[in-house]
Chain A
Amino acid sequence: MISFSQVYKRYPNGYEALKNVSFTLEAGEMALINGHSGAGKTTLLRLIAAIERPTAGSIIVNGQNVSTLKSGAIPFLRRNLGLVFQDQKILFDRTVFQNVLLPLQISGFSSRAATGRVRAALDKVGLLDRERARPITLSGGEQQRLCIARAIVNRPSILIADEPTSNLDADYARDIMDMFKSFNQVGVTVLIATHDVELLGGMHQRMFTLSHGELTA
C-alpha cells in the first residue's frame, strides 16, 4: 500500500517538483504515472523509496511513514521495494548473475538459497541462458530485463519502475509492460512512471497524470 497525503517537494533552489499530491494505491493494485518530462514523476517515485524526503506532507508505504523514517531504517524499507531505475544502475564489472545476486547478499541469504532465487528471477524475465554474460554484451531490452530481475529477486511487495520502456522499440516495450502486468497478477503492487502515452493505448490501468508537479487526474 502506498499513500500520499498533501505531499510537497521543493528543492533548495526554489523549484517546486511536487505540489499538494495526494493519492492512495492499495496493496495488489497497479497504476501508471503519466506526464510530460519534468512533471515530477521521478521525484514522486524517489520519495517512495526515501531517496529524497518530502518538504511537507506524509507518505505511507506498507504502513510505515516514510517521511519521518530514521535513516537507519531506510535500508529495510528499500528491501521491501523492487526498484527499476531510469538510468538502470547496472554494475558492468560483474556478470548478469552477480548483478541479480546483490540484493540477496545485502539481505544476508546463504549462497545456496540465493542461487535458486537468482535463477528463478532470471527465468521470469527470460535471461536464464545469459547468467554468465557481461551486462555490456546485452541488448537494451535485455539490460532492462536484467534490472527487473534485480528488482524482483527479493520478492518485494511493491514494484516501482521509472521509465522502464524508454529507449526501447514498441515490441520490446510491450514485452516489458506485459511482464509488469504478470507480476501484478500474482499480487505485487506495481507503480510505473512513463511518458509514453501511445504505448498505453491498449492498457486499461489506473492512471495518474502529473502536470507541473500537480496531480490532474
Chain B
Amino acid sequence: MSVWFSHHLHAFALAFKRLAITPLGSLLSIAVIGIAFSLPAGIYVLLENLQALSGQFSGEPELSLFLKLDADKSAVAEIESHLDQHPHVAAFRFISRDSALEQFKEGSGLADVIDGLEGNPLPDAFVITARDISPETLEALRAELGELPLVEHAQLDSAWAKRLDSFLRLGRLAVFMLGGLLSFSLVAVAFNTIRLQILTMRDEIEVAKLIGATKGFIRRPFLYFGAMQGVVGGAAAWLIISLGIHLTDEQLRGLMALYDANFRLYHLSLEDSLSLLLFSAWLGWAGAWLSVTNHLWRIEPR
C-alpha cells in the first residue's frame, strides 16, 4: 500500500514538475484545450438558457376543445364531468359561445359586423391545462379528446413550443457532434506533447529501465501529465464560458428590462461542470496512454 502510494505520489509530483518546467508550452496547450472545449460547452449553456427563456414566456401550453354547434347543455355537462375525471387534465375552464361572442366583439372592434350576423357562429369551448406538458403526452391528449362525441376540433396552442423543442434537440445533437470532434483535438494535443516529452527524456527512460523500472512506473507520470493537462484545459474552458456569461448577462439585463422580464443567464450546473472536468481529464489521459503505448516500447536499453 505504501509502495503503491509512494509510486503514485512520485508520478504525480513528476508530472506536475514537467507541466511547470515549460510554462509557455503548457500554457499554450492548455489554451488550445480550453478554447476547443469552450465552444461546445458554450453552445450547450446557450441552449439551456434558451430553453429556460422559452419556459418563462410561454407559460403552460393549453389545449382548446371546440364543441359542435349543435351541442346542448347536457352534452357540455357530460364533457365537463369527463374532463373532471380525466387523469391527465390538471384544470379546465368553460367558455360558452355567448361569452366567446362578447369577448370577440370587444377584442376585435367588429361589433357592428357581428351584430349583423343572423346567429352566433362561435362554438362552445373548453380550455384545458394538462398535468404533464411534455409534447408527446399533450399530443396524445389532443387526439383522445378530439375523438369525443360532439367535439368538433381539438387544438394545441403549443405548436411553436414543439418547434422550439425540436430545434433545441437539434442544437444538442450539434453540440455532441462538435464536442466529439473537438475531443479529438484534445487527444491529439496530449498525444503530441507526450510524444515530445518521451523523445526528450529518452536517456532517463532508458536508465530507468536498466535499473529495474517497470512499464507502469515509466508510464504513470505521462498519464498523470495528460490527465492534469486535460483537467486544467477543462478548467480554462469553464473560465472562458464564465467570462462569456458574465459579459452577456450585463447586456442582457438592460435588454430584459425593456421587455419588463426578469431573466438571468444560467451558468453550467455543478454537475455539468464536474462532467466537463472529468471528461477533459479522461481525454487527456487517453491521449497520453495512446502516445506512451505507441512510443515507449521503441526505447529499449542499448
Do A and B assemble together? yes
Q: Contact between B210 and A91 (Cβ–Cβ < 8 Å)? A: no
Q: Contact between A83 and B7 (Cβ–Cβ < 8 Å)? A: no
B213 at the interface (CB under 8 A from A): yes
C-alpha spacing A108/B214, complex, angstroms? 11
- Which residues of the other chain, B, contact A49 by a CB distance below 8 angstroms? 210
- Which residues of the other chain, A, contact B213 by a CB distance below 8 angstroms? 75, 106
Q: A75-B214, A89-B203 are in contact. Are A110 and B208 (CB under 8 A)?
A: no
Number of interface residues of A (CB under 8 A): 24
B3 at the interface (CB under 8 A from A): yes
Q: A51-B301, A105-B10, A108-B3 are in contact. Are A83 and B211 (CB under 8 A)?
A: yes
C-alpha spacing A154/B7, complex, angstroms? 16
1/0 per residue, CB under 8 A from B, across A106-126: the answer is 111111000000000000000
Q: Contact between A79 and B2 (Cβ–Cβ < 8 Å)? A: no
B74 at the interface (CB under 8 A from A): no
- Which residues of the other chain, A, contact B207 by a CB distance below 8 angstroms? 89, 91, 102
Q: Contact between A75 and B6 (Cβ–Cβ < 8 Å)? A: no
B206 at the interface (CB under 8 A from A): yes
- Which residues of the other chain, B, contact A108 by a CB distance below 8 angstroms? 2-4, 6-7
C-alpha spacing A51/B300, complex, angstroms? 8
For A99, give the chain B residue with the smallest CB separation.
Answer: B207
Which of A89, A106, A107 touches B206 (beta carbons < 8 Å)?
Answer: A89
Q: Contact between B204 and A103 (Cβ–Cβ < 8 Å)? A: no
Q: A89-B203, A91-B203, A91-B204 are in contact. Are A106 and B301 (CB under 8 A)?
A: no
For A89, give the chain B residue with the smallest CB separation.
Answer: B207
C-alpha spacing A33/B122, complex, angstroms? 114
A residues lining the B interface (CB < 8 Å): 49, 51, 72, 75-79, 83, 85, 89, 91, 93, 102-103, 105-111, 150, 154
What 8 A-B pairs come out closest when comparing CB atoms? A108-B3, A79-B212, A78-B212, A75-B214, A106-B213, A75-B212, A103-B211, A89-B207
